[in-house]
Structure 1
Amino acid sequence: MNYKKTMILRWVVALSFLTGTLAMAAEQGDQPKKGKPNIIFIFTDDQRYNTIHALGGSQVITPHLDGLVNNGTTFTHAYNMGAWGGAVCVTSRAMLITGMSVWDVQEEEKDYSSLLGKKGFWPQQMKLAGYDTYMTGKWHIKQNPKDIFDRVEHVRPGMPNQTPQGYNRPLSPADTTWQPWDQQYEGFWKGGTHWTQVVADDAVGYIDQASKKDEPFFMYLAFNSPHDPRQAPKRWVDRYPVQDIELPTSYLDEYPFKEEMGAGKGLRDEKLAPFPRTPYSVKKNIQEYYASISYTDEQIGRILEALKKSGKMDNTYIFFTADHGLAVGHHGLMGKQSMFDHSMRPPLIVAGPDIPKGEKRSQDVYLQDIMASAYELAGIKKPEHVYFNSLLPMVKDKNKPSSYKSIYGCYTMEQRMVRTPKYKMIVYPKANKILLFDMVKDPEELHDIAGDPANKAILKSMKAKLIQQQKEMNDKLDLTAYLSKI
């Protein structure tokens, strides 16, 4: 081949390569650059882990949360670590927004100024990573949300105002003074629009604005529902006839250790239903609880629909959980101030790009792990003060073990708990009582096996785990000597 032909051939090859490269670049240029993903955190109040139809709540109507379950990955064993007071949500939310463990954050909340200055709050870190941060709904944290979010809409207190008529009821089927849809008692109806709808209205409005921008967003959407007063439109209450409501398997008229565990007749939550409990009063409270959950589900559906219409769904991760669970008649209790699963275990769902659909993970985790998960998605290095860990390794690999060898639980100085996948030990120091449950054979926690001599080695192991956890958590309740005697 002569020189001229060789040069022509090289020129043709080079031109072809250049043309292909330009075509590829043009094609890629036509594709939208997704950048960092959007993150939406949806938070309910007092919602137990099995109050979603797709997660075992056979009587609960939750089509939109069912959709999240079917289109995402659910952690079936997520827990709130505990609380230093009766308002368990205060502790849960303080841990979530700071990432600190229970007793450490109790010390920190005495003066949040140092953490604020270090930009150690969840939304502050998201802002540093380039996110527009938004909040609406329940707060109940000793830090002004306007100091840490870019935009704040309605800030609600710990709970809507409850009235005297809302307690110690119903005494009988004839007791119809207080009704969930009656707006004269205000509560969620204060202001004219149910607070659950207001959160959804706010969220839909923000998503519409965010759809017109390229900046990634972080939304903190905190519903007060289904916390009491458990109010909802009549159309939802009517979907749950009282006579059809199933009583909890662990139903009791009264829990024998209620006073020693700090959940007795003087606790606000426990005053909602009469003492001793009656099947009718518990069924009525469950009816109103389910109606509130269904109404919340309806409003969540509006948020999800707005996200679909915005065109942002394909680049948005959604986390759903609650601050803890709720007894509502389980073990004779009404509130969340116990170490039973029904009180400290909420649902936890993760949905979004590349998240396995319709899958479940049974590893023991904390609900506050959501914060560290959001950091991983946003490319944020987890700050040193954050105790909790990302859920994403377990989402990606179902065989990945939990970050925690055991789960720690506490309530004031009256209760302590340690849980492994198989066993749970609960301690009531004031009652001089230790309970042990086989959580595989007895998930409803009906049969205390602590007194069985065959379980002596198990108890010894669980006691050692609890003592070690207390040291790690800076727990000031020293049970070392007490546990060694029992």
Structure 2
Amino acid sequence: MKNITLWAILLLLFSCSEEKKKENAQPNIVFIFADDLTYSAINALGNKEIQTPNIDRLVNAGTTFSHAYNMGAWNGAVCLASRAMIISGRSVWNADKFRQEWLLGRGLDQTWGKLMENAGYNTYMTGKWHVDAKAEDVFQNVVHVRPGMPKDAWKNDEMIENFKSIAGTDTSPGKFMPVGYNRPISEADSSWSAADTKYGGYWEGGKHWSEVLKDDALGFVANTKKSDKPFFMYLAFNAPHDPRQAPQAYLDKYPMENISVPKSFLPEYPFKDGIGNGPDLRDEALAPFPRTEYAIKKHIQEYYAIITHLDDQIGAILDSLEESGQMQNTYIIFTADHGLAMGRHGLLGKQTQFDHSIRAPFVIMGPNVPKGKIISSDIYLQDAMATSLELAGIQKPGYIYFHSLMDLLEGKRDKSAYNGIYGGYVDLQRMIRKEGFKLIVYPKLDRVLLYDMENDPEEINDLSDEPSYQAKVDGLFQDLLELQQQLNDTLNISHLRKKNDL
């Protein structure tokens, strides 16, 4: 009898010990990263034209940060800068300098993947990389490393050579452009089919890249059940970046008559050339100038289709995590590297300081994360890195500029950790968003724009010349100058202050 009692006590102690071990275990972290996904392209967050049932699952089961921003870029490939920031933890201009270390094989121990690995995590990466460091030097397990975008399709070899020789000098319809650019010219234009696999792109290799990434993720999740180590997954989809290709069934979900033109639609943005958004910018060359409502609707149709296709792959990943029995100790962070204009202000790309281009969806789901909550405090999407470090019990190194979001999630703070959100695009644009207003500066055009983001979220009405708003312009301009100094931004915009008598 005594022996039975002793064994019962030992079994109880062992069970409690194992339960305590599970409670204290580092959580798994799954980072799902889309490309070119704007904040307004999710059904659960207000866009009833698009079907995103699985991203909606994340929104409904987690907390959404409705105002997440990318800080900027040093070239037209905005995704490159966004990813360099999130992997290194540095702010935009410091990340530009630090990435030179990667080219020399240095600084790798300061990357997101290595910080997690050194804390005991089994790290995994698949999908779009577009970072100067080698993916294999940052993550332990790497498969299917993809470039910045799928390859464009060309009509013939002669066109390729012609385009290479004068790229960026002539983007008139039909000249020296890949298939799928400068279209549709009219409703009769059939030069491109987003569902035709003959154009390669996402179908290079035989299976759509989003589906390949999903398969990769499912394979890794299945293997995690064999290990006691926590895992960190970096799942970087190329979708919905162009060429926006999806199976025909997804295009069929979006009849043209059901697609609306954005409220801020313009045939042509008047400042496009002076801010680097003219026809020589690849993103803007996708559709002809001036924009037509039909052309924008066609591009939106293809955008929605590839997003819904992406959404299905995300759903399969969520299902696999649930079926593995590990969801109760797993945090999922979902965001994108920036937004996309898709016709707003007469633009298509992400190389502006309007919200449609710099603002991305951002959702966290996991243990004790409030369900269905929306937090409107301004954050940077690169806060995902610092957040994951806190979740993993890793002390944030001093070189990381960005902040963990856990204090906002837990209600310990209700205001942004930043004294204004900063934005910069090469030497052509600067921006500050603060206290419900946004100031945009176009240095080479001697232009300053002001928007009331609370009452004019589509950024249609410029208030910069209104006498009653001059104090607001002056205050934000001074705040922007201070942020420039803090972030090592050397672009001189002070002449605008004098010119506009700010």
Q: TM-score, normalised by structure 1?
A: 0.94
Q: Which has the larger radius of gyration?
A: 1
Q: Which residue of 1 aligns with 2:158?
A: none
Q: Which residue of 2 aligns with 1:73?
A: 63
CA 1:179 to 1:118, structure 2 compared with 1: closer, same or farther past 3 Å? closer
Choose the corresponding residue for 2:36, options 25, 46, 71: 46
Alignment partners' CA distance in 1, 2:429 and 2:407? 32
The yes-or-no answer on 1:102 pairing with 2:116 is no
* Identity percentage of aligned residues: 51
Contact 1:364–1:421 (CA under 8 A) maintained in structure 2: no
Choose the corresponding residue for 2:453, options 439, 442, 462: 439
Alignment partners' CA distance in 1, 2:442 and 2:412? 35
Shift of 1:233: 0.6
- Mapping for residues 1-80 of structure 1, pairs under 5 Å: 24-29=12-17, 31=19, 33-34=21-22, 35-80=25-70
CA 1:270 to 1:118, structure 2 compared with 1: closer, same or farther past 3 Å? closer
Q: Which residue of 2 aligns with 1:177?
A: 191
Cα displacement string for residues 237-284 of structure 1 (whole angstroms, at most 9, x for unaligned residues): 000001210100000000000001111111000000010000000000
Contact 1:139–1:158 (CA under 8 A) maintained in structure 2: yes
Q: Which residue of 2 aligns with 1:197?
A: 211
Choose the corresponding residue for 1:308, options 322, 325, 330: 322
Alignment partners' CA distance in 2, 1:22 and 1:110? 57
Q: Which residue of 2 aligns with 1:297?
A: 311
Shift of 1:65: 0.4
Alignment partners' CA distance in 1, 2:84 and 2:497? 30
Cα displacement string for residues 3-27 of structure 1 (whole angstroms, at most 9, x for unaligned residues): xxxxxxxxxxxx9x99997575244
CA RMSD, Structure 1 to Structure 2 (Å): 1.7
SS of 2:133's equivalent in the other structure is coil
Alignment partners' CA distance in 1, 2:391 and 2:327? 15
Q: Which residue of 2 aligns with 1:395?
A: 409
Shift of 1:31: 3.4
Matched residue type, 2:52: T
Matched residue type, 1:98: S
The yes-or-no answer on 1:88 pairing with 2:78 is yes
Alignment partners' CA distance in 1, 2:448 and 2:339? 22
33-42 or 316-325: which moved more?
A: 33-42
Shift of 1:476: 1.2
Alignment partners' CA distance in 2, 1:32 and 1:313? 18
Contact 1:245–1:287 (CA under 8 A) maintained in structure 2: yes
SS of 2:331's equivalent in the other structure is strand
Aligned residues: 471
Cα displacement string for residues 197-255 of structure 1 (whole angstroms, at most 9, x for unaligned residues): 00000000000001221110000000000000000010000000012101000000000
Shift of 1:110: 1.9
Q: Which residue of 1 aligns with 2:248?
A: 234
The yes-or-no answer on 1:415 pairing with 2:429 is yes
Choose the corresponding residue for 1:154, options 106, 127, 144: 144
Unmatched tracts of structure 1, length 5 or more: 1-14
Q: TM-score, normalised by structure 2?
A: 0.91
Q: Which residue of 1 aligns with 2:481?
A: 467
Unmatched tracts of structure 2, length 5 or more: 154-177
The yes-or-no answer on 1:384 pairing with 2:410 is no
Cα displacement string for residues 41-95 of structure 1 (whole angstroms, at most 9, x for unaligned residues): 0000000001110011111100000000000000000000010100000000000
Alignment partners' CA distance in 2, 1:19 and 1:156? 55
Choose the corresponding residue for 1:428, options 427, 442, 445: 442
Contact 1:421–1:439 (CA under 8 A) maintained in structure 2: no
Matched residue type, 2:360: P
Matched residue type, 1:230: R
Cα displacement string for residues 18-41 of structure 1 (whole angstroms, at most 9, x for unaligned residues): 999757524414637321100000
Contact 2:124–2:233 (CA under 8 A) maintained in structure 1: yes
The yes-or-no answer on 1:361 pairing with 2:351 is no
Contact 1:406–1:418 (CA under 8 A) maintained in structure 2: yes
Matched residue type, 2:78: V
Alignment partners' CA distance in 1, 2:9 and 2:435? 55
